[in-house]
Structure 1
């Protein structure tokens, strides 16, 4: 195989991997790794002639193509951040594929392919839990717009989808190799049956679950507001903030009545943190006007996002992310969700999963000394404050709702923490306007469908601009709002208190893969030095 052919195969694999994030069916992922597996086999068969690093270059080209085709839109918020995200993620992905290739050189065929699966799943799990979290391109996310295929995510979460994709690619590739090399009919039949079982059993189970799933009737009437503020031309003085409040309440009034239980606004309805001292919410003029609006209705409670700050009595009580004002005061800034209940109380939740480079500087514990000189790449220098764990808002009638802010909706296991603590509904508030009219905001909305299936919780999603919508417990979307338009919608969604298997056990597939990866890497090291 000529080098040009190998490069074209690498590019083709990258294109195939990207299609599920660009609106094409998720099942394309079942063949997306095949070109790379062809290259892998080429180098394994000629391992005496080529070093393993030869495969790494092809792997990097494939995953770099995948990353740039699917996440280029980050550049609208931060050009430097986009370059860092795409290059870093591509490098890490290529290292995983390279390690799997080295295992294929040392182990028998089947064990080598098992290494590919468990190494990749371990990498995805790692990407959920280190300080530069970027699980956007998790393979299991590729089925976000094909919810009839993945109803069993309530048992496995998205890692079940990742395992499905990898297994299908490996089984299809092995069958193609057997056909090409004229392997015995018995082995080809076994491979064909294995591939058919791996494909059709999950599909049949999912279709059956989708057709048979019935929501328990626990209706809550929810109004969603989409103010459509341009984050690139937004102003933050008192006049501008007052105008945003008035427009928000006008839109809310158009869909709110005496049957409305909740009104949901997007992330950072109010962007100027100077007006949102958390210790003074009782005297906050915006809060008073919001409560006055709620009093026009019998049941309505209000959830919306702000940029807020909290002052610490002294530096000893300040957090690692705290800033110091000119007068020496220590304070933290937060991306905050505020809930105004019917009892007149304010409840607060601080965003926990922060966007690297925009809302937080990674490895603050070790790199805090450069926080004052780090470049601003699309948001704030330094880091916002955060709360350590998920927490729910409690309505006057006892209903618990999960306030999921923007990026947090990408983290399946994190969202289960709200549900384990009693959340019966999920409200996602976000500002997707930073990405402009690109695939980014569509991808972000689609991931919410996965959270609905994993937790079997109805979702109300309020975006600053498209797509605001309702999502039922099967992952079906209703009343999606258009991009770049002011909008307000109202609908009924059902609360649910039952816990799914995935909520109870989380990412157990990934933890098992991580354990196996450690054993296989140790075995690989032993074989390397023998």
Structure 2
């Protein structure tokens, strides 16, 4: 095997070893791209023909292998969890597309490397990569799971400064250090001693200062006491049996029994997982639902208690008020179905939140205006596409006592920007409700749990996480796991969490690094086009 392909495989291996949930290896991310950069350099400076195609192949091998090894569980769950073959085909696209976009960002860097200075091409790579991550976070085929900054979820002690930058700060850090290591190796035989010394000092500063800064923050961070007793419940109901095979009444009975097993007189929040109430409920008439009445009867024992639970709900309209509303001939109405969270308390007041970050193919049809012709196919195969509505802005669900929780449903917990918007609106803690059982006992559930630590750091909010089965638990404001459940075990956990009303720099200002990267992407993309145009014209 040629050396450049061995280098590409080395990068894939290092990236995989550094990725959650493998513990204590995240620092490998700071050098994981160096072998690929060296492989590309041999092509750029060599006598190879069709250099662009070879670099695309090298990068494609690296990123496809890394993604496949890290998120294999996606494909493991698709075959059995998807409602139909059409939905499965659409759903698999975002996961594979991430590797393609990474490859494209690297290929653009190599093209820029050939027509401009080395350091300009490095800035271009940083911009193209951050631009790809932002695109894959915002468009209809979104899947930001593999954003580089997420890689430090298992070593959160090293990225406490995410409260200023969010995960894009981690992406920037990883890229900068990798490029400095590569540059130091590249000029080792040609540069003078002064240049090499400066590069070595720059590298030491770029790698070491963020770590030292983070450890200082971590060691000195103290939570302000403002306790609230919260209970999270893990009913451990097989996700493949919860819709239809197992009566909803039996599921609710399990949830209330587990809640009672640890509930206290002063418990203020009980949190049940995503779709815990697995019966489509008309939101307008929820107060007459037997499951709502059961929940209220349960809460009578807890004077200040509120229940935040996942629910499948729907709303009826006289006209197509939303793009996702479907006409139902049998009732002569338009129906909008939701993967929702509802807050129930000891009063008639009910608050709903509708999941916004929907899984492409499973919960939403990407590019609905362009692909509207596919809606009947999804409906015929039993898919929910065209039926799941969403809301455009996050909500805060407030208990009777005035405590505000940011409801985050499953997949949404990967979006730092979405969660921080809920916190900015007044949430004092983050409530994640999820159903990770679809993936089986794979690394998917562990990665999903680890990523929640980054949301705690970014917002300096406790995370209370309720999963249908594995992993439920509590994470404090530093990102430390205070308690967690085991996989495939029915349980309930309680904690006195500290509420927080202070806003971090990141909560106030959002993904400013991503926006700067997108601007740079435009600048360097234009520069590349201009240089290629001049070369073609022979100017």
- Same fold per TM (> 0.5)? yes
1:344 aligns with 2:322: no
Residue correspondence of structure 1 range 30-429 to structure 2 within 5 A: 30-46=30-46, 49-79=49-79, 80-81=88-89, 83-179=92-188, 181-236=189-244, 240-273=247-280, 276-312=281-317, 314-315=318-319, 317-327=320-330, 328-374=332-378, 380-429=384-433
Contact kept, 8 Å, 2:475 with 2:483, in 1: the verdict is no
Distance of 1:57 and 1:378 partners within structure 2: 38
Deviation by residue 1:331-377 (Cα, 9 ceiling, x = unmatched): 01100101012333111000011011111110112211220114889
Contact kept, 8 Å, 1:358 with 1:378, in 2: the verdict is no
Aligned to 1:363, the other structure's residue is in SS state coil
1:23 aligns with 2:31: no
Contact kept, 8 Å, 2:5 with 2:39, in 1: the verdict is no
- The offset of 1:178, in angstroms, is 2.5
Change (3 A) 1:47 1:360: farther
Aligned to 1:479, the other structure's residue is in SS state strand
Change (3 A) 1:231 1:377: farther
Distance of 1:61 and 1:430 partners within structure 2: 33
- Stretch of structure 1 that moved more, 519-528 or 489-498: 519-528
- The offset of 1:469, in angstroms, is 0.6
Contact kept, 8 Å, 1:264 with 1:303, in 2: the verdict is yes
Contact kept, 8 Å, 1:402 with 1:419, in 2: the verdict is yes
Q: Choose from 10, 13, 31 the match for 2:11.
A: 13
Distance of 2:499 and 2:382 partners within structure 1: 37
Where do 5+ consecutive residues of structure 1 fail to align?
A: none
Q: If the length of structure 1 is used for normalisation, what is the TM-score?
A: 0.95
Aligned to 2:28, the other structure's residue is in SS state helix
Contact kept, 8 Å, 2:287 with 2:348, in 1: the verdict is no
- The offset of 1:235, in angstroms, is 4.2
- Stretch of structure 1 that moved more, 204-213 or 516-525: 516-525
Matching residue of 2:504: 500
Distance of 1:260 and 1:335 partners within structure 2: 26
Change (3 A) 1:150 1:422: same
Contact kept, 8 Å, 1:357 with 1:377, in 2: the verdict is no
Contact kept, 8 Å, 2:20 with 2:154, in 1: the verdict is no
Aligned to 1:483, the other structure's residue is in SS state coil
Matching residue of 1:455: 459
User: Once superposed, which parts of structure 1, at least 4 consecutive aligned residues long, lie more than 3 Å away?
Assistant: 47-50, 79-83, 374-379
Contact kept, 8 Å, 1:358 with 1:377, in 2: the verdict is no
- The offset of 1:487, in angstroms, is 0.7
Q: CA RMSD in A?
A: 1.7
Q: If the length of structure 2 is used for normalisation, what is the TM-score?
A: 0.94
Where do 5+ consecutive residues of structure 2 fail to align?
A: 80-87, 535-539
Aligned to 1:145, the other structure's residue is in SS state helix
Distance of 1:236 and 1:291 partners within structure 2: 24
Change (3 A) 1:437 1:207: same
- The offset of 1:29, in angstroms, is 0.5
Residue correspondence of structure 1 range 438-449 to structure 2 within 5 A: 438-449=442-453
- The offset of 1:383, in angstroms, is 4.5
- The offset of 1:11, in angstroms, is 1.9
Change (3 A) 1:47 1:420: farther
Contact kept, 8 Å, 2:277 with 2:291, in 1: the verdict is no
Deviation by residue 1:196-249 (Cα, 9 ceiling, x = unmatched): 000111011100000111111110000110001111233427x71000011110
Change (3 A) 1:134 1:47: farther
Aligned to 1:371, the other structure's residue is in SS state helix
1:487 aligns with 2:491: yes
- The offset of 1:293, in angstroms, is 0.6
Change (3 A) 1:512 1:451: same
Distance of 1:500 and 1:152 partners within structure 2: 10
Contact kept, 8 Å, 2:113 with 2:121, in 1: the verdict is yes
Contact kept, 8 Å, 1:64 with 1:86, in 2: the verdict is no
- The offset of 1:318, in angstroms, is 3.0
Aligned to 2:377, the other structure's residue is in SS state coil
- Stretch of structure 1 that moved more, 85-94 or 414-423: 85-94
Distance of 1:168 and 1:379 partners within structure 2: 44
- The offset of 1:139, in angstroms, is 0.2
Distance of 1:474 and 1:386 partners within structure 2: 31
- The offset of 1:183, in angstroms, is 2.3
